[in-house]
């Protein structure tokens, strides 16, 4: 609602500036006044024009207000302060505008591809991965709500060193045979379903084994260390090549761990459409196709001199585009260039990534094979395969891509974009978004609480980085379990869900909804480039700026309708029957500002959604939902709806609750948070 009105006002203002002063202003700055008493929308445009027109801002503002006359949806305009133009909305009209079911189907905006999670399939997911997956999943929901067709991908590096390390651990540290490994995986799946829970699961097993193997590389004599490092490299090469027993073991492990990751993420309502794997990128020769294009476009050149002699390299972003020349005009070498093909002929990570991203945009001329892998309640998740199923959906060919990858990888990401641009794909490069975010770290207190040794040097720090290699971190499933236990205790204390036959199932469901709400909100309330210093005290909090606070507002509204024997739909239908004059009466005056504030906030949702997408920042919506809930709590305490004697006013109050409910539930859903029936 506010978005539409702002656009309308912007158009009117632009027309006036053109007609009156012959000025073309592309973007009229519009803002929210600090106080409702100053109106709902304001513009400081007169300040900007003061110099150009050589007139006082106040006079310009007055001229514009006079020229504006009447604009539909607005009550009136006024000049305030040193030259602000403040707009006051026609409150009754705004309310009636929102009361109708307006949203409709958003128009098609294009095909977006979001890649997130992408955990190395060699250990359990931890809180850092949760932030990635929750950010990515939420952004997917936002894009879909805005009208994009979205494919969700989870890239699986099943042939990298991390998987190799676990394979080395199984084969050489534990000296397990392939048969034993197979049995272990099968058994762990059964055990994890029983009382032992996730502690018995394969990803937990690998968590410890990976840490032990990493340590093992560093132990022993110099000769032993060298031998172990060689073992690691040989294992990696066997896995990359494929078609051997080591590669089969690696595949077994990575598939089993991957399934666990999908299960963990499903607990949070996170689903994927496609799982492209590195093994297929290698075996289907994506690189060969990319290499030809890179050479042809001149992005890659062969280095004959300097430290990168014998490599195919590319110029880094920001570096001079032409090879460096010395004082004598002789072409020198760019030692700072990025190596893409090593002197031994193998491709680096960035090289493979360029090929993969050409595929994402449909520019590679090759495709994956596709196999069914994981069944969700309402759709299938596919995985890449060398020889896939005949019938399969098609992925790739996106017009915009979003890579949810932590900020430490911004350099390689920039290299890939640079390569695309260099190949002439400027349009694609412009729609390539590195959706970067900062890591989740542990506070020293939290680390000590978990029983980790914290060296003196780290105790004074604000946070300590999580490390899979060291086995240092909080596992995702452990955290979820802990949250559910805590919410269940609260639910039991309140006897939410009653004491009847189905009480246990009901309470479990509610506890789960609240726990997930708390976790997702916790990961979304911080803006992307803020490091989260994780602490159980904050993550297990259900009060204040948290998911449960917002869910509680929803439950309260539902209780009102339940006790009042009516429904939100009925309340809005009744509102439509009310004459505008009465609505205006109930919304005018400062004593009713809190009611109007709720409508206004609720009416900002689509604007917030747009901001979230243009800024790639889900935190704006998290904040918005909280503020809406907060304003409702305020309203709730000030007005007792069900005992309101004036039926017309009661209708308006009920409609206010109905609109708030609609927007809260919708906002929570976009954040991936369910709205419980009771709590």
Nearer to RNA, 243 or 318 (CB): 318
55 binds RNA (CB under 7 A): no
Name the pairing type of β-strands 400-406 and 312-314. Answer: unpaired
Q: SS3 of 564, please?
A: helix
Q: Which stretch binds RNA (CB under 7 A): 10-18, 261-269, 387-395, 634-642?
A: 634-642
**CA 576 remoteness from chain centre:** 38
For residue 272, count CB atoms less than 10 angstroms from its CB and return exposed for 0-12, middle for 13-18, buried for 19 or more.
buried
Which H or E run contains 301?
A: strand 301-302
Under 8 Å between Cβ of 546 and 521: yes
Nearer to RNA, 263 or 406 (CB): 406
278 binds RNA (CB under 7 A): yes
Nearer to RNA, 216 or 356 (CB): 356
C-beta of 563: minimal distance to RNA in Å?
A: 4
544 binds RNA (CB under 7 A): yes
Sign of CA dihedral 421, 425, 427, 431: negative
Q: Taking the CA of residue 266 as centre, how many other CA atoms within 13 Å lie in the half-sphere pointing to its CB?
A: 15
545 binds RNA (CB under 7 A): yes
Number of residues in contact with RNA, rule: CB under 7 A?
100
d(CA 556, CA 550): 10
C-beta of 402: minimal distance to RNA in Å?
A: 18
DSSP string, 313-378: EEPPTTS-SSPPB-TTS-B---TTSEEEE-TTSPBPHHHHHHHHHHHHTT-SS---EEEEEEE-SS
Which residue among 430, 538, 579, 646 contacts RNA (CB under 7 A)? Answer: 538
Q: Which stretch binds RNA (CB under 7 A): 68-76, 209-217, 308-316, 323-331?
A: 308-316
C-beta of 149: minimal distance to RNA in Å?
A: 26
Which residue among 127, 339, 404, 613 contacts RNA (CB under 7 A)? Answer: 339
Residues 158-187 that bind RNA (CB under 7 A): 159-162
C-beta of 594: minimal distance to RNA in Å?
A: 9
Q: Where are the beta strands (DSSP E) in 82-164?
A: 84-89, 111-115, 149-153
300 binds RNA (CB under 7 A): no
Which residue among 15, 193, 505, 642 contacts RNA (CB under 7 A)? Answer: 642
C-beta of 69: minimal distance to RNA in Å?
A: 20
C-beta of 217: minimal distance to RNA in Å?
A: 13
C-beta of 290: minimal distance to RNA in Å?
A: 15
d(CA 229, CA 165): 10
604 binds RNA (CB under 7 A): no
Nearer to RNA, 45 or 583 (CB): 45
Which residue among 393, 495, 576, 579 contacts RNA (CB under 7 A)? Answer: 495
> x/- binding map, residues 452-491, to RNA, per CB under 7 A?
---------xx--x---------------------x--xx
Q: Which stretch binds RNA (CB under 7 A): 205-213, 255-263, 370-378, 527-535?
A: 527-535
Under 8 Å between Cβ of 332 and 324: yes
Residue position matching structure tokens 């992307």 = 528
Which residue among 204, 549, 586, 599 contacts RNA (CB under 7 A)? Answer: 549
Within 10 Å of residue 242's Cβ, how many Cβ atoms?
16
Nearer to RNA, 39 or 201 (CB): 39
Residues 78-107 that bind RNA (CB under 7 A): 80-82, 84, 86
Nearer to RNA, 192 or 547 (CB): 547
> x/- binding map, residues 558-597, to RNA, per CB under 7 A?
-xx--xx---------------------------------
Cβ neighbours of residue 177 under 8 Å, at least 6 residues apart? none
d(CA 118, CA 135): 13
Name the nearest CA neighbour of 528 among 618, 432, 418.
Answer: 618
For residues 292-315, b (16+ Cβ closer than 10 Å) or e, as one string? Answer: ebbeeeebbbebeeeebeebbbbb
Residues 15-34 that bind RNA (CB under 7 A): 27, 29-34
């Amino acid at each position: 609602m506010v978005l539409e009105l702002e656009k309308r006002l912007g158009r009117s203002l632009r027309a006036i500036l053109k007609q009156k002063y012959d000025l073309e202003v592309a973007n009229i700055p519009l803002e929210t006044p600090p106080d409702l008493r100053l109106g709902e929308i304001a513009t400081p445009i007169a300040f900007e024009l003061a110099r150009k027109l050589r007139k006082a801002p106040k006079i310009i503002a007055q001229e514009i207000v006079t020229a504006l006359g009447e604009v539909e949806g607005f009550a009136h305009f006024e000049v305030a302060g040193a030259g602000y133009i403040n707009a006051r909305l026609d409150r009754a009209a705004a309310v009636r505008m929102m009361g109708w079911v307006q949203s409709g189907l958003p128009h098609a905006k294009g095909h977006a591809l979001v890649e997130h999670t992408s955990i190395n399939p060699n250990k359990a997911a931890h809180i850092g991965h949760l932030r990635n997956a929750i950010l990515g999943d939420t952004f997917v929901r936002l894009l879909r709500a805005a009208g994009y067709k979205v494919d969700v991908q989870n890239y699986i590096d099943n042939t990298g060193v991390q998987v190799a390390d676990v394979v080395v651990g199984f084969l050489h540290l534990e000296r397990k045979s392939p048969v034993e490994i197979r049995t272990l995986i099968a058994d762990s799946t059964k055990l994890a379903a029983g009382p032992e829970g996730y502690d018995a699961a394969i990803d937990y097993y690998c968590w410890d084994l990976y840490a032990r193997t990493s340590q093992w590389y560093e132990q022993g004599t110099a000769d032993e260390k060298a031998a172990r490092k060689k073992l690691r490299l040989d294992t990696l090469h066997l896995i990359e090549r494929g078609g051997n027993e080591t590669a089969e073991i690696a595949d077994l492990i990575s598939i089993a761990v991957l399934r666990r990751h999908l299960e963990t993420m499903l607990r949070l309502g996170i689903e994927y459409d496609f799982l492209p794997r590195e093994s297929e990128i290698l075996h289907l020769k994506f690189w060969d196709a990319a290499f030809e294009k890179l050479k042809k476009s001149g992005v890659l050149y062969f280095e004959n001199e300097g430290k990168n002699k014998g490599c195919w390299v590319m110029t880094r972003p920001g570096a001079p585009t032409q090879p460096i020349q010395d004082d004598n005009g002789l072409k020198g070498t760019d030692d700072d260039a990025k190596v893409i093909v090593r002197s031994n002929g193998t491709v680096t990570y960035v090289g493979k990534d360029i090929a993969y991203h050409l595929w994402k945009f449909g520019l590679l001329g090759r495709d994956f094979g596709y196999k069914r892998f994981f069944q969700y309640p309402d759709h299938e998740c596919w995985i890449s395969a060398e020889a896939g199923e005949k019938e399969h959906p098609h992925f790739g060919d996106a017009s915009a891509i979003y890579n949810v990858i932590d900020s430490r990888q911004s350099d390689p990401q920039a290299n890939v974009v640079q390569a695309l641009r260099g190949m002439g794909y400027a349009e694609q490069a412009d729609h390539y978004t590195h959706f970067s975010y900062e890591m989740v770290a542990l506070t020293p207190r939290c680390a000590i609480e978990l029983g980790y040794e914290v060296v003196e040097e780290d105790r004074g720090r604000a946070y300590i980085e999580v490390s899979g290699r060291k086995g240092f971190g909080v596992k995702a499933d452990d955290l979820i379990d802990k949250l559910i236990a805590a919410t269940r205790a609260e639910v039991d204390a309140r006897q939410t869900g009653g004491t009847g036959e189905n009480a246990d199932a009901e309470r479990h469901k509610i506890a789960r909804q609240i726990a997930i709400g708390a976790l997702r909100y916790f990961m979304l309330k911080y803006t992307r480039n803020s490091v989260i210093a994780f602490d159980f005290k904050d993550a297990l909090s259900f009060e204040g700026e948290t998911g449960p606070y917002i869910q509680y507002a929803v439950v309260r509204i539902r209780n009102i309708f339940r006790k009042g024997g009516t429904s939100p739909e009925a309340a809005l239908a009744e509102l439509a029957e009310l004459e505008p004059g009465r609505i205006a009466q109930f919304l005018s005056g400062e004593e009713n500002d809190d009611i109007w504030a709720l409508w206004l906030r609720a009416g900002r949702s689509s604007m917030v959604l747009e901001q979230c997408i243009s800024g790639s920042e889900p935190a704006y919506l998290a904040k918005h939902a909280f503020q809406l809930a907060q304003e409702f709590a305020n309203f709730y305490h000030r007005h007792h709806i069900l005992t309101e004697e004036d039926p017309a006013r009661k209708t308006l109050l009920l409609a206010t609750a109905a609109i708030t409910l609609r927007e809260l539930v919708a906002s929570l859903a976009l954040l991936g948070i369910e709205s419980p029936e009771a709590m």
